[in-house]
């Protein structure tokens, strides 16, 4: 390997890339501007839709209510999001969507009647309708408040504590801070975006530097230069890795900015805080670099079979899909970063990102992840190196067809190796 | 009819053979034991129809592909054992070797000088000299994609000799060019010969071979059928026109 040659070749690749509109758009503009902008638009639309829904009133009917609990009716009437209506045929109206919910007070059978006016409440609603489900949530909130006050009042009358009267109560305390909640949300969103962007950033440069060179006729020009094919390959590889890494990192920074400036607003008064711990940044950067190395190797190998840019796109697209699909696997918040998960490429790095963002570090799966990625990168580079040593590959005798190459390769190897061309 | 190489010339080719395995046609012998040598300050022509084996021969000499058997030496560097040395000692130009469209003319020459191991401290001087020599001063800073075909030809020849090689291979350099641009390329080849370089030139155009080549090898089906100066070929066949001489060797006597 001659690092002076590799540097010359690498700088030539970068210089050409930064002058190509397609590469600048796909690897820089889109990650930095378009996706954060889209995200901002989606969340703006989402919050607008939420705001619109919040203004819609829930139509509720109080069918039966004892005199002792008339205060509940008043509480419902005072709620600006609830309209207390009346219907002759409430059940039909719920099904037709004219009414969202019916409240019935029911006598509690076999219940200790410690408290005066001890009743149960039955809510009838249609869970398949958004409006009805929203009405249930709103009514339940009012009822819970009313019930708490009622129990406290009755306990006071009886001269006992609230817990003595209630017997079994559930209190909820969310111990996570806004910062932790913010990291949880980031942990779900950012790894996926980072992986997609690393792949997006590599696609165009990988095709341009291989199939693009064949199409332009510069491939053969390079083959006659006084540097080894290995140097050419390494320079191209480092170039695609750089573009992938830059696209991924720029996108993450732009997304963080978007989320901090827009999504935090959705959190309302207890707004989420989107801060990544400083100690996590080197892990995220190292993970992104490893993944960029892996993506670049895979895409370079596939794209280099193509003769034209279009062929390159059709060869790389399945790899891109295969690369992004496993990310569905980590969409579940309950998915844990185990040693088994650390063996799955792409998913392991995405999980490592998630863990790093959460600020919690389980070093064993992280170490396995790094080892696995290095293994895959080494394997991919071995394949790429042996490909560029093959004359039939370099001279494109497979006519841009990956499977034809594999067939011919198998045939030539079964005949004792050597090169084939046509 | 093959000229046996003596071994001291800048380019010595011995029994060079290349076979390919084709899916439908089986083993194809594209080059079949070719031998020749090229002397200093000489334009050596490979004249043959399409598919005769000219390009395959030149690709082996430029180490793009490896020979199945036989060997060749360029300025003492063996094409099999020392391909990097071969590439440092020669320039390769063909109709299919294109330029990077997004580099400027100057950047292109600079890049090829560096990658072909021209001494780093002399690169700028060499680039400036080539820009002046080929009259590219006005568009040296313009990207190749914006240049006319004629300008691109000049940049292409300049990048071929950016590292000052003593041997230059021209593989059908005028294919697809109009008359004016073809003449520019021919003039450049003649200039390179007067610089003392050894030129290997392949063509299927008889007039080009007549005009440029000091010696001509007639190539057909991977073999050299005849190799001599134009005058020598005329004497040997009794025919005047190269086209007639070529047909005589390829088809045999009428």
Using a CB-CB cut-off of 8 Å, the residues of chain B touching A5 are 115
- Return the residue matching tokens 């054992």: B81
A positions 199-228 inside 8 Å of B (CB): 216-218, 220-221, 223-228
Asked whether the predicted pLDDT for residue A400 surpasses 70, the reply is no
Domain count, chain B: 1
Q: Are residues A367 and A332 in the same domain?
A: yes
What is the domain range of residue A72? 56-166
Answer yes or no: is A210 within a domain.
yes
What is the domain range of residue B25? 11-251
pLDDT for the residue A238: 94
Phi, psi of A67 (to 5 degrees): -60, -35
Torsion of CA A231, A236, A238, A243, to 10 degrees: 170
Answer yes or no: is A174 within a domain.
no
Q: Are residues A382 and A242 in the same domain?
A: yes
Domain count, chain A: 2
ipTM higher than the 0.90 cut = no
Q: Are residues A22 and A77 in the same domain?
A: no
Q: Tell me whether residues B87 and A394 touch, CB distance under 8 A.
A: no
pLDDT for the residue B18: 93
pLDDT for the residue A326: 77
Asked whether the predicted pLDDT for residue A345 surpasses 60, the reply is yes
Chain B positions contacting chain A at CB under 8 Å are: 20-23, 28, 62-66, 84, 87-88, 91-92, 94, 96-103, 107, 111-112, 114-117, 143, 163
pLDDT for the residue A263: 59
At A66-79, the pLDDT tens digits run 887 888 888 998 98
Q: Are residues A371 and A230 in the same domain?
A: yes
Q: Are residues A252 and A330 in the same domain?
A: yes
pLDDT for the residue B58: 93
Q: Tell me whether residues A226 and B114 touch, CB distance under 8 A.
A: no
Using a CB-CB cut-off of 8 Å, the residues of chain A touching B64 are 220, 223-224, 394-395
Asked whether the predicted pLDDT for residue A360 surpasses 90, the reply is no
Two tokens, residue A69: 């609990």
At A407-417, the pLDDT tens digits run 666 666 555 44
Q: Tell me whether residues A408 and B116 touch, CB distance under 8 A.
A: no
CA geometry: angle at B31 spanning B28 and B37, to 5°?
Answer: 175
pLDDT for the residue A195: 86
Choose among B116, B45, B36, B41: nearest CA to B71.
B36
Q: Tell me whether residues B111 and A228 touch, CB distance under 8 A.
A: no
Q: Kindly state the average pLDDT of the residues A348-364.
A: 83
Asked whether the predicted pLDDT for residue A309 surpasses 90, the reply is no
Asked whether the predicted pLDDT for residue A362 surpasses 60, the reply is yes
Q: Are residues A136 and A248 in the same domain?
A: no
Q: Which residues on neighbouring strands pair with residue B224, listed in sequence order?
A: B219
Distance from CA of B223 to the nearest CA of A (A): 18
Report chain A's mean pLDDT, rounded to a whole number.
Answer: 80
Residues of chain B with pLDDT under 50: 1-3
pLDDT for the residue B252: 74
Minimal Cβ distance to A217: which of B20, B28, B98? B98
Distance from CA of B49 to the nearest CA of A (A): 18
Q: Are residues A66 and A124 in the same domain?
A: yes
Q: Tell me whether residues B20 and A420 touch, CB distance under 8 A.
A: yes
- Return the residue matching tokens 């290995």: A230
Using a CB-CB cut-off of 8 Å, the residues of chain B touching A220 are 64, 94, 96-97
Answer yes or no: is B146 within a domain.
yes
3-state secondary structure B216-243: EEEEECCEEEEEECHHHHHHHHCCCCHH
pLDDT for the residue A269: 44
Task: Compare all CA atoms of chain B with the CA of A16 and give the residue at the minimum distance.
Answer: B102
Q: Kindly state the average pLDDT of the residues A270-284.
A: 73
Asked whether the predicted pLDDT for residue A297 surpasses 80, the reply is yes
At A12-67, the pLDDT tens digits run 999 998 998 888 887 788 878 887 788 778 777 877 777 776 678 889 999 888 88
Q: Are residues A127 and A207 in the same domain?
A: no
- CATH number of the domain bearing residue B125: 3.40.50.300
Choose among B200, B156, B174: nearest CA to B62.
B200
Neighbours of B252 (CB within 10 A): 8
Answer yes or no: is A413 within a domain.
no
Asked whether the predicted pLDDT for residue A421 surpasses 50, the reply is no
Contacts of A133 (CB under 8 A, 6+ apart): A125, A126, A127
At A220-275, the pLDDT tens digits run 888 888 888 889 999 999 999 999 999 888 888 888 787 777 655 555 444 566 67
Answer yes or no: is B4 within a domain.
no
Per-residue buried b or exposed e for B99-112, using 16+ beta carbons within 10 Å of the residue's own CB: bbbbbbbbbbbbbb
């Amino acid at each position: 390997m001659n690092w002076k040659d590799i540097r010359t070749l690498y700088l030539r690749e970068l210089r050409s890339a930064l002058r190509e509109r397609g590469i600048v758009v796909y690897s820089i503009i889109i990650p930095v501007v378009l996706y954060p902008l889209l995200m901002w638009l989606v969340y703006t639309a989402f919050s607008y839709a939420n705001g619109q829904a919040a203004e819609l009133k829930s139509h509720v009917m109080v069918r039966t209510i004892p005199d002792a609990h008339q205060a509940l009716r008043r509480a419902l009437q005072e709620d600006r999001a609830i309209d207390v209506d009346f219907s002759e045929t409430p059940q039909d109206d719920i099904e037709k969507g004219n009414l969202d919910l019916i409240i019935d007070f029911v006598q509690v059978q076999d219940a200790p009647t410690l408290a005066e006016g001890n009743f149960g409440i039955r809510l009838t609603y249609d869970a398949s309708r958004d409006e009805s489900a929203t009405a249930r949530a709103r009514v339940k909130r009012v009822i819970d408040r009313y019930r708490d006050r009622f129990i406290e009042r009755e306990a006071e009358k009886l001269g006992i504590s609230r817990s003595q009267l209630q017997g079994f109560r559930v209190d909820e305390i969310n111990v996570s801070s806004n910062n932790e909640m913010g990291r949880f949300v980031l942990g779900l969103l950012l790894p996926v975006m980072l992986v997609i962007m690393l792949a997006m950033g590599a696609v165009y440069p990988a095709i341009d530097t291989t199939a693009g060179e064949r199409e332009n006729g510069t491939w053969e020009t390079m083959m006659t230069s006084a540097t080894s094919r290995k140097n050419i390959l390494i320079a191209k590889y480092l170039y695609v890795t750089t573009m992938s890494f830059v696209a991924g990192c720029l996108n993450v920074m732009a997304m963080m900015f978007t989320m901090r400036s827009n999504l935090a607003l959705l959190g309302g008064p207890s707004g989420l805080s989107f801060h990544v711990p400083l100690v996590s940044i080197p892990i995220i950067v190292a993970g992104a670099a490893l993944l960029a190395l892996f993506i670049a190797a895979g895409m370079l190998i596939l794209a280099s079979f193509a003769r034209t840019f279009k062929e390159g796109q059709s060869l790389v697209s399945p790899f891109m899909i295969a690369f992004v699909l496993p990310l569905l696997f980590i969409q579940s918040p309950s998915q844990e970063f185990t040693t088994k998960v650390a063996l799955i490429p792409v998913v392991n790095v995405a999980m490592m990102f998630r863990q790093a963002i959460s600020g919690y570090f389980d070093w064993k799966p992280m170490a396995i992840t790094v080892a696995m990625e290095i293994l895959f990168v080494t394997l991919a580079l071995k394949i790429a190196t042996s490909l560029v040593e093959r004359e039939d590959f370099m001279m494109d005798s497979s006519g841009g067809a990956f499977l034809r190459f594999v067939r011919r390769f198998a045939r030539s190897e079964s005949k004792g190796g050597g090169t084939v061309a046509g | 009819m093959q000229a046996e190489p003596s071994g001291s010339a800048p380019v010595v080719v011995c029994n060079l053979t290349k076979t390919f395995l084709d899916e439908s046609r089986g083993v194809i012998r594209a080059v079949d034991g070719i031998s020749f040598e090229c002397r200093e300050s000489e334009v050596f022509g490979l004249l043959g129809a399409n598919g005769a084996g000219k390009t395959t021969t030149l690709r082996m000499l430029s180490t793009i592909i490896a020979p199945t058997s036989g060997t060749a030496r360029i300025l003492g560097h063996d094409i099999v054992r020392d391909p990097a040395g071969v590439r440092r000692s020669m320039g390769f130009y063909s109709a299919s070797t294109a330029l990077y469209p997004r580099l400027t003319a100057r950047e292109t020459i600079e890049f090829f000088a560096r990658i072909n191991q021209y001494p780093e401290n002399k690169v700028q001087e060499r680039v400036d000299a080539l820009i002046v020599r080929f009259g590219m001063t006005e568009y040296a800073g313009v990207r190749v994609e914006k240049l006319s075909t004629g300008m691109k030809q000049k940049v292409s020849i300049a990048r071929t000799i950016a590292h000052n090689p003593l041997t230059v291979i021209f593989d059908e350099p005028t294919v697809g060019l109009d008359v004016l641009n073809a003449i520019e390329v021919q003039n450049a080849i003649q200039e390179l010969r007067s610089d003392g370089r050894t030129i290997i030139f392949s063509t299927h155009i008889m007039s080009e071979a007549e005009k440029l080549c000091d010696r001509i090898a007639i190539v057909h089906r991977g073999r050299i059928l005849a190799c001599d100066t134009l005058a020598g070929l005329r004497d040997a066949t009794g025919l005047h026109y190269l086209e007639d001489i070529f047909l005589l060797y390829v088809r045999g006597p009428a």
